[in-house]
């Protein structure tokens, strides 16, 4: 009997081993793929449905993802990562990104990808004001960066921490450029955020979409795609404003992690996000897919008029990455 039980136990352990291996074979780890951001929830579900690869949601921001990738460089945990462009440039310098040229590589404009495949753009967004009109309680929707300094908006404004989250840094770059600064001169932006402190801004480190919808934050420095999602999908009384002084648009990119433990599964996921279906998911979430042909006209029609987008200023993404650390240090010392 004991021999039989031993064989049963061995068979059970073997079965568990096969099950674990099978589960591992169908899993990939992505850093910075939060369900609330950029409709990653839909994208992750589609990746599983179409490729069989399960990717757990991950709520890191770009800065936290970069720090984790560097910390794990000798023993990587993640297979792929999603980052703001400046963090991707830093990650490449740190040697934590592998190389992979996904499906439809040739459709990606040259200035929106690393030529060797360390990173490539999946979509882009335009920085502005995401406004919960109901939370303003009758106050006018702000139209400019200078409007946000008015005392009537005290306690209503939120922006992600510019020293950690990419979207926060983009907001700082946008304000700085709009108010006369350059990537070599952040004084206008630093002075602006110093002045904004008088309005008691809320400064979280993680995506704050839900906090905007709930009214806890009335005005959030965020991208057009989140505002359109709130307005058209969640039916919230939300407006998107491209400030009168101007703003910037930036790409978000994806990469295969160097020495990824499940690299093949990571490649499958990266191929999917660049496929017609994957790009259409970004578009339906109101992001501008890097493959322009994937933008449906009925979605494009929901965006603000092109006259508003004409206020978007050009920016050197490589330079933006170069000066990010210096800006972050200065922000921490002078603003926070």
Domain span at residue 186? 125-248+307-334
Whether 99 is in a domain gets the answer yes
pLDDT for position 25: 64
Whether 25 is in a domain gets the answer no
What CATH number did the domain enclosing 63 receive?
Answer: 3.40.190.10
Whether 27 is in a domain gets the answer no
* Same domain assignment for residues 149 and 119: no
* Same domain assignment for residues 141 and 60: no
Question: Which residues on adjacent β-strands are paired with residue 222?
Answer: 128
Whether 196 is in a domain gets the answer yes
- Tens of pLDDT, residue by residue over 40-96, are 999 999 999 999 999 999 999 899 999 999 999 999 999 999 999 989 999 999 999
* Same domain assignment for residues 69 and 115: yes
Whether 315 is in a domain gets the answer yes
* Same domain assignment for residues 242 and 173: yes
Whether 26 is in a domain gets the answer no
Phi and psi of 219, rounded to 5°?
-135, 120
Contacts by 144-151 with C-beta closer than 8 Å and gap 24+?
144/243, 144/244, 144/245, 145/175, 145/178, 145/179, 145/192, 145/243, 145/245, 146/245, 148/196, 148/199, 148/219, 149/192, 149/195, 149/196, 149/198, 149/199, 151/198, 151/199
Residue 6 has pLDDT above 90, yes or no: no
* Same domain assignment for residues 231 and 315: yes
Contact at 8 Å (CB) between 190 and 335? yes
Lowest mean pLDDT among 14-18, 115-119, 126-130: 14-18
Whether 19 is in a domain gets the answer no
* Same domain assignment for residues 180 and 328: yes
- Tens of pLDDT, residue by residue over 154-187, are 999 999 999 988 899 999 999 999 999 999 999 9
* Same domain assignment for residues 129 and 64: no
* Same domain assignment for residues 168 and 190: yes
* Same domain assignment for residues 235 and 114: no
Residue 240 has pLDDT above 80, yes or no: yes
* Same domain assignment for residues 315 and 223: yes
- Tens of pLDDT, residue by residue over 12-46, are 444 444 334 444 569 999 999 999 888 899 999 99
Cα 12 from Cα 10, distance rounded (Å): 5
Task: Please give the full DSSP string across 6-24, using - where no structure is assigned.
Answer: HHHHHHHHHHHHHHHHHHH
Sign of CA dihedral 163, 91, 322, 326: positive
Whether 6 is in a domain gets the answer no
Q: What is the pTM of this model?
A: 0.79
* Same domain assignment for residues 178 and 295: no
pLDDT for position 207: 76
* Same domain assignment for residues 330 and 227: yes
- SS3 category, 120: strand
Written as six digits, the tokens of 11 are 């068979």
Number of structural domains (the chain) is 2
């Amino acid at each position: 009997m004991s021999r039989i039980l031993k064989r049963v136990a061995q068979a059970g352990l073997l079965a568990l081993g096969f099950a674990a291996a099978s589960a591992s074979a169908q899993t990939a780890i992505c850093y910075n793929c939060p369900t609330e951001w950029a409709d990653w929830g839909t994208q992750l579900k589609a990746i599983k449905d179409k490729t069989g690869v399960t990717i757990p949601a991950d709520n890191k921001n770009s800065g936290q993802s970069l720090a984790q990738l560097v910390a794990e460089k000798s023993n990587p945990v993640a297979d792929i990562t999603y980052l703001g462009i400046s963090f991707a440039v830093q990650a490449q310098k740190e040697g934590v990104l592998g190389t992979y040229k996904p499906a439809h590589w040739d459709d990606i404009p040259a200035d929106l990808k690393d030529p060797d495949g360390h990173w490539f753009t999946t979509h882009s967004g335009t920085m502005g004001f995401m406004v919960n009109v109901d939370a303003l309680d009758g106050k006018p929707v702000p139209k400019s960066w200078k409007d946000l300094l008015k005392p009537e908006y005290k306690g209503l404004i939120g922006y992600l921490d510019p020293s950690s989250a990419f979207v926060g840094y983009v907001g700082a770059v946008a304000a700085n450029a709009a108010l006369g600064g350059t990537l070599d001169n952040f004084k206008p932006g630093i002075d602006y955020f110093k002045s904004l402190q008088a309005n008691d801004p809320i400064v979280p480190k993680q995506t704050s979409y839900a906090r905007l919808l709930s009214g806890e934050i009335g005005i959030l420095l965020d991208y057009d795609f989140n505002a359109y999602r709130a307005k058209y999908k969640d039916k919230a009384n939300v407006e998107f404003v491209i400030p009168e002084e101007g703003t910037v648009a930036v790409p978000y990119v994806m990469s295969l992690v160097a020495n990824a433990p499940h690299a093949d599964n990571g490649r499958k996921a990266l191929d999917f996000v660049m496929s017609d279906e994957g790009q259409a998911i970004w578009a339906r979430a109101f992001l501008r897919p890097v493959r322009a042909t994937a933008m449906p006209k009925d979605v494009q029609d929901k965006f603000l008029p092109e006259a508003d987008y004409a206020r978007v200023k050009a920016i050197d993404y490589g330079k933006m990455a170069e000066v990010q650390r210096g800006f972050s240090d200065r922000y921490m010392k002078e603003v926070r």
